[in-house]
Structure formats: C-alpha cells, structure tokens
Amino acid sequence: MLDTLVQQIKAKVGNAPKALIDFREISQDVLKQFGKNGVTGFITKNGKNMPLKWYAETLTRTHITKAANDAIISNAIKSGKTKVQVSSHAGACHLCIPYQGKIYDVLGRDNLDTPPLMPIYPNCRHLLIPLGE
C-alpha cells in the first residue's frame, strides 16, 4: 500500500516547480488513502507512536523535495550548466551541516564531487540550487 501511495504522490508532483505543488492537497489525499486502508498511525523504529497526519505530511514533503531536486539535476544535465549548490538554513541537523552551501557538479566535473542524494532523510528541507554555470 505504501508503494502505491508513493507512486500517487510522484504522479501528482511530476516535474512541476515546487512552488506550484499544493502540499496540503496532496498530504490530505495521502491521509484519506491511509484511512481507506484502515491505517490509523505509525510506529517508528525506536517505538514512538506517530500520528497519521504527521506521517502523511512527512511522506508528501519528502517526495516533493526529492522531485524538485531530481528536476534540478535533470535540467542541469539537459542545459549543460551542471553546477549546483546545497541550500543552507538555520537549525540544520548534523547530517546536513557538512553539505550546506557547498558547490557540486551533477556530473562530477571540474574536480567537484557529485551532490549528495537529496533529501538526505525524511522531512529534510535542503534543495539543490542551480548555479547556471
């Protein structure tokens, strides 16, 4: 069932610009699908009982961010302008801090590494920023 929901999210997101994607609408659709399938909540690996709304929003946000980053990489390759920078924001977790603000090349050219797979973890807010170089 989860794979089906992820596919539905991907279909709604497509390659639309992140600003045009209705996060609330998609997460509400996911929440409804969970309800139709009798899912009432989720338990994390460490035993926390997480509300269904939180999980639906996490799933949606993560896949919207992934789709946006995938589109940036795809467009960079098509345009030949392959340099990107990882966004920076306050309150970043220890997993993301080493990547914030760093410049990468999506093809690994010019002695630059390829960017990390983004998002790094569920709910990660980091985006790749095309540099146009």
DSSP state of 117: P
User: What's this model's pTM, rounded to 2 decimal places?
Assistant: 0.75
Residues 4-28 have pLDDT tens digits of 666 666 666 655 555 456 777 777 8
Domain of residue 75: give its range: 2-130
pLDDT surpassing 70 at residue 84: yes
Alpha-carbon gap, residue 133 to 131, rounded angstroms: 6
Is residue 9 a contact partner of residue 28, using CB atoms and an 8 Å limit? no
CA distances from 132 to 13, 66, 67 (A): 24, 20, 19
Mean pLDDT over residues 48-77, rounded?
Answer: 86
Of residues 50 and 102, more confidently modeled: 102
Does a cis peptide bond (omega within 30 degrees of 0) precede residue 119?
A: yes
Look at residue 10 in the predicted model and tell me its pLDDT: 64
**Structure-block tokens of residue 125:** 């807010």
How many structural domains comprise the chain? 1
d(CA 103, CA 128): 9
Instruction: Say which residues have a Cβ less than 8 Å from residue 28's Cβ, sequence separation at least 6.
Output: 56
